[in-house]
A and B are shown apart, each in its own frame.
Chain A
Amino acid sequence: MNTMRAYYDRYLPWALGIAFLFGLLVFPFYQRESPYWVYVGANALFYAILASSWALLAGYNGQFSFAHMAFMGLATYASGIVGREAGIWALNWSPALSIPFGVLVAGVVGLLIGYLCLRLRSTYLALFTIAFAEILRLVFKAEVDLTGGPNGLYLKTFNLPFLEGLTRYASTYAPMYYTMLAVFLFSLVVMYALVNSRYGIFFRAVREDEEAAAALGVHVVRVRILAFVVSSMIAGLAGAVFHHSPGIGIVVPDEMQIGRMSLVIAMAVIGGSNNLMAAAIGALFLHFALEWLQEIPMPDALMSWLQAHQATLEAWGFGLGEAGLKTNAWRMVAFGILLMVTLRFWRNGLVSPILERIMQARAKEEVARGRAAKAGKDLADVDKLVVDESPNEGGQ
């Protein structure tokens, strides 16, 4: 193999990874003139955590849950309730205490729901989790004394002094953004540690064929519950931190709607739910795209033409802003079509095949090096076994 090519294959994933991380780190400085986009960035990171942790549960372990947003909301409400200053059960806990508590509640309830879902497959699991999510949302809506009801629960925001300083150089939303970035990176590290451990293999074996995995000694109960608990806790962490961050400070029950959940699923599926990073990138990208589509910036020449046809545009459900075309509901239509096209033609998502190609180049290179190192041993075996070395070596 050509050395240039080998170096390229080996270092490309690292280079891209570092560039991606660098981009995320400098984004608030780059956008310091437009705090709105930094706020959008923090939201995008929130969705990226949800999409990737859902991919862990559904993509890796095959448990197609609709309760992921419910666990996000549960942790947020649990920490919000123990953080209240007045009313029944008001404990006035600080976010430093109440957020871990909320995450723990999500974990415990995740354990229970994971256990109840053990015998449920695909469609039934989806229906069960939809029912659970809706019940939880309606309870939060109805328990006005505890949760504030439909108007939402006000939360104590946390202040991180070392991030506050950044507001001067970057945007006002920098503290929120960097907090979500930290949670995002932390979740990815935890999830990658898990999928690279033996449990990663068990997750997928159980997804592929639960009975066969059990017959081979895989403790399927432990594996399924572990996936449920970990992904629920990560969703809970994302929710609790996001809603307690300066700039939010409130949670409403309708954030746990099935519609929101479907959005997370669609993001993960379009990115590629068989790959944590692909699901995360899909969510980041799509959240920005959806925000951008709210009002597509237009050049002046086109703008005046559009203004001349304002009535027709409005009849079609579009609108006109200061300097752009408002797509209103049409952006969700575009999103829906993208989802349908992805499901029909790219079952593995749009981002995942690209990531896999980049990583595979590296894997191939590792195989080549491994074989060279063991050439002596391999040659001895070849004599005995007459192995035909087919050309699909190293392919996936």
Chain B
Amino acid sequence: MRLELKKVVKQFGGLTAVNGVSFTIEGSQLVGLIGPNGAGKSTLTNLISGILKPTSGEIWFNGERIDGKPPYVIAARGIGRTFQVTRAFRRMTVLENLLTPGLAKFGNRKSRAQLEEEAMEILRFLTMDHLRWEYASNLSGGQQKLLELGRLLMMDPDLIILDEPFAGVHPKLQRTIYDYIKRVKARGKAIILISHDMESIFTLSERLLVLNFGTLIADGPPEEVKENPEVIEAYLGKDEEEDQFLPTAA
């Protein structure tokens, strides 16, 4: 797996949401992506997954240029992502939600029964198998987050981008998501993890990218990034009243 961004820029009218971002991710790294609200994290996710097209710059994945390609082509190449605001297929059952990516990717090779079997295994892992016939609209917010993670496992991508998987999730479910991330990583997948939950970001990531106003201001091991004065300023701000902080210990 190799993802490379070269000077990627995204403008919305006069607003530059992503401003010349370049980085490379290789192998099965777990990369944390942090930054204040509005820094451009979700926009970057949309650019990589093809939902948005960059204004300029290039995105390469496994030796192929993917910017400008439609999202379903990029998904087929092996990039999967979740959405910050969950987007379950509400009037479809949990099982059908999982079958969608399974059939899209493996529909030619695997039978429906086989894919259902795999979906059930994933649902058991996510402790949701009792909900398989339930319409997704009947799930709680946290369960919908798990459902999105389950759909990603079905499509079996090489790179997974998780946009705020812990937001609004009960600690018990958070454990399941932790286990999920570890399991995905154990399978040799690369992960980009976006989160405002500093504790999980610092425990899980091997490398940290920091965005501020669309610009990449730091890229390196978490311990190093934590000491970076620009990052401290972006998080603490010059304003003393700002109450966001970096944890002192990971």
Using a CB–CB cutoff of 8 Å, the interface residues on chain A facing chain B are: 198, 201-202, 204-205, 207-209, 211-221, 274, 363, 367, 381, 385-390, 392-396
Residues of B near any A CB (own CB < 8 A): 49-51, 70-72, 75-76, 80-81, 83, 87, 89-93, 96, 99-101, 103-105, 107, 112, 124-125, 127, 129-131, 133-135, 151, 155
Contacts of A218 in B (CB 8 A): 72, 100-101, 104
CA distance in complex: A367, B134 (Å): 13
Partner of A209, one of B80, B89, B93, B107: B89
Given contacts A201-B100, A217-B105, A219-B104, contact A396 B92 (CB under 8 A): no
Residues of A close to B87: CB separation below 8 A: 209, 211-212
Q: Are B92 and A205 in contact (CB under 8 A)?
A: yes
What residues of B have a CB within 8 angstroms of the CB of A205 in the complex? 89, 92, 100
The answer to whether residues A389 and B134 also contact, given A208-B91, A209-B89 and a CB cut-off of 8 A, is: no
Contact of A385 among B71, B81, B127 (CB under 8 A): B127
Contacting residues, chain B, for A395 (C-beta < 8 A): 133-134
**A216 CB to nearest chain B CB (Å):** 4
List B contacts of A394 (CB < 8 A): 133
Chain B residues near A385: list those with CB within 8 A.
Answer: 124-125, 127
Please state if B135 and A216 are interface contacts (CB–CB under 8 Å).
no
Q: Report the minimum CB–CB distance from B61 to chain A (whole Å).
A: 14
The 5 closest A-B pairs by CB, nearest first: A217-B75, A208-B89, A217-B104, A214-B71, A216-B101
Listed A/B pairs (5) with beta-carbon separation below 8 Å: A198-B104, A201-B100, A209-B89, A214-B51, A215-B72
> Which residues in B have their C-beta under 8 angstroms from that of A387?
124, 127, 129-130
Q: Are B70 and A221 in contact (CB under 8 A)?
A: yes
Residue in B51, B134, B155 whose beta carbon sits within 8 Å of that of A211 in the complex: B51
Give the CA-CA distance A175 to B29 in the complex, in Å. Answer: 70
Answer whether A214 and B92 are a contact pair too, CB < 8 Å, given A201-B103, A381-B124, A393-B130.
no
Are B51's CB and A215's CB within 8 A? yes
Task: Tell me, in angstroms, the Cα distance from A39 to B99 when the chains sit together.
Answer: 44
- Further pairs besides A214-B72, A274-B91, A394-B133: 5, Cβ < 8 Å: A217-B72, A217-B101, A385-B127, A387-B127, A395-B134
State the CA gap A322–B96 with chains docked (Å). Answer: 56
Q: If the complex has contacts A198-B107, A211-B51, are A216 and B75 also in contact, measured as CB distance less than 8 A? A: yes
- Tell whether, in the assembled complex, residue B91 and residue A204 are in contact, meaning their CB atoms are under 8 Å apart: yes
What's the least CB distance linking A234 to chain B, in Å?
A: 23
Q: Which of B72, B135, B151 has the most CB of A within 10 A?
A: B72
User: Which residues of chain A have C-beta atoms less than 8 A from B134's C-beta?
Assistant: 392, 395-396
- Cα(A386)–Cα(B151), bound, Å: 22
Q: Is the beta-carbon distance between A220 and B72 smaller than 8 angstroms?
A: yes
**Is the pair A215, B75 in contact by a Cβ cutoff of 8 Å?**
yes
- CB-CB under 8 A from B93, the residues of chain A are 396
Q: In the assembled complex, how far is the CB of residue A162 from the closest CB belonging to chain B, in whole angstroms?
A: 39
In the complex, the answer to whether B103 meets A212 with C-beta atoms within 8 Å is no
- Bound complex: CA of A381 vs CA of B50, how far in Å? 38
For B83, the chain A residues whose CB sits under 8 A away are 212, 215
Across the interface, which residues of B come within 8 angstroms of A209, CB to CB? 87, 89
Residues of A within 8 A of B135 (CB): 396
Q: Which of chain B's residues has its CB closest to A392's CB?
A: B134
Closest-CB distance, B233 to chain A (whole angstroms): 34
For residue A216, which residues in chain B have a CB less than 8 angstroms away from its CB?
75, 80, 100-101, 104, 151, 155
Residues on A with C-beta less than 8 A from B105 are 217
Chain A residue at minimum C-beta to C-beta distance from B123 = A387
- Taking a contact as CB atoms under 8 Å apart, the answer to whether B75 and A389 are in contact is no
In the complex, A78→B210 CA distance in Å?
A: 62
Task: State in angstroms the CA–CA spacing of A220 and B155 once bound together.
Answer: 16
Which residues of chain A have C-beta atoms less than 8 A from B127's C-beta? 385-387
Distance (whole angstroms) from the CB of A139 to the closest CB of chain B = 34
Distance (whole angstroms) from the CB of B155 to the closest CB of chain A: 6
Task: Report A201 CB to chain B, min CB distance, Å.
Answer: 6
With A and B bound together, what is the CA distance between A215 and B159 in angstroms?
Answer: 13
| Pair B100/A202 contact, Cβ less than 8 Å | yes
Contacts of A213 in B (CB 8 A): 89, 100
